[in-house]
Amino acid sequence: MIRLSDFSIGFGKRQLLDNISCSFHDGRLTALIGRNGSGKSTLLHAIAGLDRHYEGNITLDGNDLRDTSQTIIARKLAFVSTYRTRIPNMRCIDVVALGRAPYTNWIGHLQPADHEIVENAMHSVGMAGYETRPLDTLSDGECQRVMIARAIAQDTPNILLDEPTSFLDIPNRYELVTLLCGLARDHGKCILFSTHELDIAMRLCDDIALIDDRSILHLPASRMVSDPHIRHLFPVPL
């Protein structure tokens, strides 16, 4: 579980979120939505421990983020950036194996159990058979599945994704969010992802976290669809 308590953060001189308190729970898929510049990516980076310039507290499964070592954070939370990784000649299986880094010995040697976890992770995202394919030869959708497989191999209770559906066609967007939904519900993971795909979020997610006017409105998707806040912010039929 991820919890924000009296949380505030800004970008430069601009305040993006002010005195927020909310929780994101295990076994639920939450879409983080809001207009451009509202603070979605900034919030995800703070939760991932990549931006410590905030006030208040962030806790991961009851542990304050500021008091938690990077090694422990890596065992509690996986982060999939919006950046499209394209490393020439790096095999897909080697990328996914990076997810086991928090559990390896000092020379990074994988044990047989680690190899099995990596293979299972690739299979779970539909990328079995791609193990030896170079990452830079894949489509955007395939590459994104490999990066999610890396997060699955990391075997953390919490997963963050920054706009994972960007640059994907409509079928791949639905397939990707359906995959995340299965991970959350079937494996009890807390998954939070930012998106501009309001229709997909409403159809497939358990909860919606709407950033507006430096605050977060966090509701089940079934309630958010009729809430006046979202109809004011996005005045289109849902």
pLDDT in the model for residue 86? 75
- Letter for the amino acid at 67? D
Mean pLDDT of the chain: 90
pLDDT of 13 higher than 90? no
Q: Check residue 58 and report its DSSP letter.
A: E
Per-residue pLDDT reduced to its tens digit, 214-234: 999 999 998 888 887 777 677
Is the full-model pTM beyond 0.85?
A: yes
Provide the 3-class DSSP secondary structure of residue 18: strand
Per-residue pLDDT reduced to its tens digit, 84-129: 777 788 999 999 999 999 988 766 688 899 999 999 999 988 899 9
pLDDT in the model for residue 235? 62
- Counting every residue, how long is the chain? 238
Residues 237/231, Cβ–Cβ less than 8 Å: no
pLDDT in the model for residue 54? 94
Provide the 3-class DSSP secondary structure of residue 14: strand
**For residue 152, how many other CB atoms are within 10 A of its CB?**
25
- Letter for the amino acid at 222? S
Cα–Cα nearest to 158, from 140, 177, 183:
183
Per-residue pLDDT reduced to its tens digit, 42-56: 999 999 999 888 999
